[in-house]
A = this chain, B = another copy of it.
């Protein structure tokens, strides 16, 4: 199958670029003696998770049990689930996974730990639990090193659980805050007799600053494998490092200043990440993806009126690539202009 035969809109992955991104990130982590644990939310493909492991990653990160189930079924053996898991049905699924692979999870409150302990009390070996810390990201996580110690104590007293370390998802630019919080927490934990086997941080924007928080020994990163417009804008990569393009067709040119493509929010999503517009049109820096409805993308051609003809095809680098993978049942793995695989996005839509 060739590029011209693909029905649009379609998500294309340049496998050479993705492979280069995998290697570059692994080389950086190797250089700084950081364990890499890629987050598969970006690609949701067992094939690329395996490629990340083959390149040297210790395992993968998932946020949903459904994602972990897909990855475990494909042969991935080491998964960190960075999410507070609650409820009997999900805990039962977690137990099943625990029997199959090397599973670890995170928690940031006593209610979650209580549920985990009840579900794993009679397990053959304990579940590894990392305590999530809020180092400035203002999402989940305990608010102080002292609170981390209290949860470590609860884990120590819980049947079926084992304290395995600390985890954080920092704010962009928060590397110094990670170092400060985690160093203090690890030290206090040591003083209280708790061995902090892993300190895990993550985030693509600050990947190359990871070594500036030497307390961190494991890094979780997802977007780097494809990259996107938000990372280009932050200076974290170049446009040429973006492995995922949305292929779209110009379906209407109602005025010379307006072209409409068949990729709308149902493919590109409305994630803005603080940017103007909804993507970068490759080779048309003067054209803005000015608006989206579900099935239409509005190209503002006012700087180059008449630059598109109905039937033209364009490639768009989306603002946020992880969410685009979640919108399609399949992606086209490209070797230049040749399709060498139409890959099911096996972990797409796993919301539970």
Contact = CB atoms under 8 A, between A and B. Distances in A.
A267 interface: yes
Given A295-B64, A351-B328, A254 B7 contact: no
B267 A269 contact: no
Interface string A304-346: 0000011100000000001100111100000000000000000
B265 A352 contact: no
Interface stretch (A139-147, A179-187, A193-201): A139-147
Interface stretch (A21-29, A81-89, A224-232): A81-89
Nearest to A65: B7
Contacts of A296: 139-140
Interface in A2-53: 5, 7-10, 41
A108 B254 contact: yes
A260 interface: yes
A100 interface: no
Interface stretch (A69-77, A122-130, A235-243, A245-253): A245-253
A258 interface: yes
A294 B295 CA distance: 21
A104 interface: no
B7 A90 contact: yes
A204 interface: no
A112 interface: yes
Contacts of A109: 252-253, 310
Contacts of A265: 269, 271, 323
Q: A64, A253, A262: which has the most chain B beta carbons within 10 Å?
A: A262
A270 interface: yes
Interface residues of A, number: 58
A272 B84 CA distance: 27
A85 to B, nearest CB: 8
A311 B84 CA distance: 10
Given A86-B249, A140-B254, A351 B310 contact: no
Contact of A328 (B252, B328, B349): B349
A134 interface: yes
A323 B268 CA distance: 12
Interface of A: 5, 7-10, 41, 63-64, 83-84, 86-87, 89-90, 108-109, 111-112, 134, 138-143, 249, 251-255, 258, 260, 262, 265-267, 269-272, 293-296, 298, 309-311, 322-323, 326-329, 349, 351-352
26 contacts: A5-B89, A7-B352, A8-B87, A9-B351, A10-B352, A64-B295, A83-B262, A84-B251, A86-B310, A87-B249, A111-B309, A112-B310, A139-B254, A139-B260, A140-B251, A140-B296, A143-B254, A266-B323, A266-B326, A270-B271, A294-B322, A294-B323, A327-B349, A327-B351, A328-B349, A349-B349
**Which 10 residue pairs are nearest across A and B when measured between Cβ atoms?**
A111-B310, A84-B251, A140-B252, A7-B352, A63-B295, A270-B270, A270-B271, A7-B89, A109-B310, A329-B349
